[in-house]
Structure 1
Amino acid sequence: MPKIKMTERVFQTEARVLSNKHIALNYYKIVFSCVSIAKYARPGHFVQVMISGKEEAFLRRPFSIHKAGNGNFTILYEALGKGTGLLSQIKSGARINIIGPLGNGFEYQPSAISRQLSAVSYQPTVIVAGGMGTAPLLFLAEKITGHKVTKSSFDLVRLRSPQVAQDSLRSQRHRVLVLIGAKSKNQILCEDEFKKLGCVVKIATDDGSRGFKGKATELLEYILRNTQYAIRNTKIYACGPKPMLKEISRISSGMNISAQVSMEEHMACGIGACLGCVVDTKTGYRRVCKDGPVFNAEELIWK
């Protein structure tokens, strides 16, 4: 399975803002018209955005590509600091200087190949999204499922027998489970969008206001040990806070399951020059912006 390597086409361009909508709390979605970036964007890639307004943020801000297609791409972001606060004020029609697509993305089985293999192989997929880590994972789910909307008819908690679970899923074209973790129910992102792709969606909230009470990683470990996702060949894809990714690495390595994690780090240049976003790996220090942001979890040294 080929990895989506550092894109060969990187553009610095003026992208036109089509919309910039407030969706909940401090969360926004901004859609850009930019054929060049949209054409070459892949799940896990990101862009570096120059934010300007009444004031100008000194450094570009990195944002995961949330969706891309038809000449447009979308960013999901949270307005917290100066830069994202300025971004939230930008109106439709504005032009923003952007560099991208950047980074190394996820390894995944494209939907066309998945459909060819579905009759002879069983490879469940689990996506774990923590907070704003949801941003790049919807794009990944779109590619894996091929935008096909199916209705799930099985109950994860009840499927404890591997054979029953496998028989139940043989008729389903795609097997994508999405675990969304948030502090509280009003911080859950993209639940409906994942469901429209035919994904099975489970929620975990720290305060128990919705779904499973606890961390998404606790729910992940329970599911891996008690449902069809423990059978074989499970693939885990995750993005979120570093403690969450560290715990996923522990769980996946202990169960000999493949896991890819998209790291969230502050970065200045976005092209590997400033060395401000390095992480420690078994083969030495690596730059999140250029060697990542996606890494195999087993490669990383967690501190």
Structure 2
Amino acid sequence: MKQFKAKIIFNKKIALHHHVLAFRTPKGAKKVNPGQFFNVKVGGSYDPLLRRPFGAHKIAGSKIEILYKVVGKATKILSERKPDEMLDVLGPLGNGFDIKSLLSSGSSSVALIAGGHGVAPLYALAKNLKTFGLKISVFIGASSKKYVVCDGDFKKLGLKVHVATEDGSKGHKGLVTDLLKSGCSICACGPKPMLKAVAKLSGKYKTYCQVSMEEYLGCGTGICMGCAIKTCSGNKLVCKDGPVFNAKEIIW
């Protein structure tokens, strides 16, 4: 973990409510793994006081891109930040996807499952997994087509993308979990109800499954204890022990 100042490379709107911001980590910084996150001070004052967590969306050496949705005051302030302005950043934080365990799970196929904004860390993971020659399929779920983002980016990687929307405005009408089949390992990120459903399916199919949990991260470093979840080995902190966990370890 390291606190550093980062110059904004770009900060652009890519969809109705979504933006992508890029910055560079300092020389000698710890390698960033898919699934890890950064805690960013979004403005230059003490309002908002708390940093906000953003997963690494694209990783290219020292260049990091974060994908974020404008949903409140903090992300609205972040969306107005300009290139060459400086960010106060803490990270990389947490434990990302366990690629070694994924590769040893015995399956040559991996399903990457995103619910809404959960696509953010899965792009970096997909790009990493491609280097191992795995068969990768991407499943994106959202309430409506206006909230489906990054499907084109995954397609540019040569991956097959399946989309499900609750209102049927794009792809399958229904839930993204409707599209899942047995026989492949799973990595998922999204709302807790979706992750719970994915974990249930992985148990049914007896497949290996990792989930990136979404909880409110007050400090991002394990101090406030506000992101504790129940697991088979006691309470764990999403910010410090996660955000990625083996799905079967979590008490849903």
TM-score, length of structure 1 as denominator length: 0.79
Aligned residues with identical type, % of pairs: 44
Q: Determine the C-alpha separation between the residues in 1 that align with 2:107 and 2:11.
A: 40
* TM-score between both structures, scaled by the size of structure 2: 0.94
1:219 matched to 2:179: yes
Q: 8 Å contact 1:278–1:287 — kept in the other structure?
A: yes
Structure 2: distance between partners of 1:187 and 1:273: 33
Q: Distance in 1 between matches of 2:17 and 2:234?
A: 37
| Count of equivalent residues | 251
The residue number in structure 1 matching 2:13 is 22
Pick aligned residue for 1:185 from 125, 128, 145: 145
Given the alignment, which residue of 98, 118, 140 partners 2:89?
A: 98
Cross-structure match for 2:187? 237
Give me the whole-angstrom Cα distance separating, in 1, the residues matched to 2:121 and 2:29.
Answer: 14
Aligned AA (1:206): E
Query: Residue 36 of structure 1: CA displacement?
Result: 4.6
Question: For structure 1, which segment, 58-67 or 45-54, has the greater mean C-alpha deviation from structure 2 after superposition?
Answer: 45-54
Is this contact kept in 2: 1:79–1:85, CA < 8 A?
Answer: yes
Does the 8 Å CA contact 1:53/1:90 hold for their aligned counterparts?
Answer: no
Alignment partner of 2:111 out of 98, 121, 126: 126
Name the CA shift for 1:281/1:20 in 2 (closer, same or farther; >3 Å): same
The residue type paired with residue 202 of structure 1 is H
Distance in 2 between residues matched to 1:271 and 1:44, nearest whole Å: 15
What are the superposed Cα offsets for residues 85-110 of structure 1, whole Å, 9 maximum, x if unpaired? 10000000100100000001111259
How far residue 54 of structure 1 moved from its aligned partner, in angstroms, is: 7.1
Structure 1 vs Structure 2 CA RMSD: 2.1
Q: Is the 8 A contact 2:229 2:238 kept in 1?
A: yes
2:37 aligned residue (41, 46, 55): 46
In structure 1, what is the Cα distance between the partners aligned to 2:65 and 2:109? 27
3-state SS of the aligned residue for 1:251?
helix
Shift of 1:253: 0.7
Q: Which has the greater radius of gyration? A: 1
- Aligned residue in 2 for 1:259: 209
Would the aligned equivalents of 1:103 and 1:291 in 2 still touch at CA under 8 Å?
yes
**Deviations 1:44-101 (Å, cap 9, x if unpaired)?**
1001001115773110101111111232101000011111010000000100100000
Long gaps (5+) in structure 2: none
Higher helix share: 1
Query: Does residue 136 of the first structure (1) align with residue 121 of the second (2)?
Result: yes
What are the superposed Cα offsets for residues 207-253 of structure 1, whole Å, 9 maximum, x if unpaired?
A: 11111111111111xx33xxxxx3xxx21000000000000111101
CA contact (8 A) 2:30 2:92 kept: no
The equivalent of 1:200 in structure 2 is 160
Call closer, same or farther: CA 1:19–1:219 in 2, change over 3 Å.
Answer: same
Query: Which residue of 2 is the match for residue 175 of structure 1?
Result: 135
- Confirm or deny: 8 A CA contact 2:108 2:134 kept in the other structure: no
Does the aligned pair in 1 maintain the 2:141–2:164 contact within 8 Å? Answer: yes
Query: How far 1:11 moved relative to its partner?
Result: 1.1
Secondary structure of residue in 2 paired with 1:186: helix
Please state whether the residue corresponding to 1:56 is helix, strand or coil: coil
> Deviation of residue 187 (structure 1)?
1.2
- Does residue 84 (structure 1) correspond to residue 84 (structure 2)? The answer is no
Structure 2 counterpart SS, 1:35: coil
Matched residue, 1:67: 58
Deviations 1:3-62 (A, max 9, x none): xxxxxxx11000100000011111000001223587511001001001115773110101
Structure with the bigger percentage of strand: 2
